[in-house]
Amino acid sequence: NVEGEVTGAYFDSSGVEHGFVRVANGTITEYNVTGAGTGSGQGTSTSGINDLGAIMGFYSDSSGVDHGYVRSPSGAITTFNVSAAGTGPGQGTVPEGNNLEGEITGQYIDASGVNHGFLRSPFGAITTFDAPGAGTGAGQGTIPFTPNLFGQITGFYTDGSGVLHGFLRTR
């Protein structure tokens, strides 16, 4: 971000993922979301940091289900799920980007394995959407990226024939 902060994740020797943030002076703080699984392929992942220092990402629980979170600059973590997200392994809520206003976009994978987009307001309200033409089969659907300050969201979708397309969503 503009303050020189970066976020990322690493895997330990057991294959568990852990989040971290590195501030401009080089100090690294590691963190794990409560409820993150401790087995191989589970744990805490990061997807981005905005210019205010808010980090968002997802964590995989012990059942392999993904859940979203946002970590404030002070370290407080708020978890969230899109209500229509599936609850099986490889399903759930996966944030992809956040902006300066605190809006978070991402995808959720439903019980049929279909990807759908969501936008989470800074206050926690979640709006779901699908790009026109997005497929409805497993592995198909909508995957949005970071929202800009004007509320525009870019991303891609996979149609029913497995072809990828870009999209722009405006308010």
**pTM confidence score:** 0.94
The pLDDT assigned to 110 comes to 98
For residue 152, what are the CA distances in angstroms to 68, 142, 171? 21, 15, 7
The pLDDT assigned to 114 comes to 98
- Mean pLDDT of all residues in the chain? 96
pLDDT at 149 over 90: no
What does the alpha-carbon distance between residue 145 and residue 97 come to, in Å, rounded to a whole number? 6
Q: Is 156 helix (H, G, I), strand (E, B) or coil?
A: strand
For residue 23, what are the CA distances in angstroms to 5, 6, 35, 97? 4, 7, 25, 19
> Mean pLDDT throughout 109-116?
98
Q: What pLDDT digit, counting tens, does each position of 63-100 carry? A: 999 999 999 999 999 999 999 999 999 999 999 999 98
Cα dihedral 50→54→56→62 (10° resolution): 160
Confidence of residue 171 (pLDDT cuts 50, 70, 90): confident
Tokens 């980090």 correspond to 55
Q: Is 30 helix (H, G, I), strand (E, B) or coil?
A: strand
Q: What is the per-residue DSSP string for 47-90?
A: EEE-TT--EEEEEE-TTS-EEEEEE-TTS-EEEE--TT---STT
Do residues 46 and 61 touch, judged by C-beta distance below 8 A?
no
The pLDDT assigned to 146 comes to 86
Q: Return contacts of 35-41, CB within 8 angstroms, 24+ apart.
A: 35/59, 35/61, 35/67, 35/79, 36/60, 36/61, 37/61, 37/62, 37/63, 37/64, 38/14, 38/62, 39/14, 39/15, 40/14, 40/15, 40/16, 41/15, 41/17
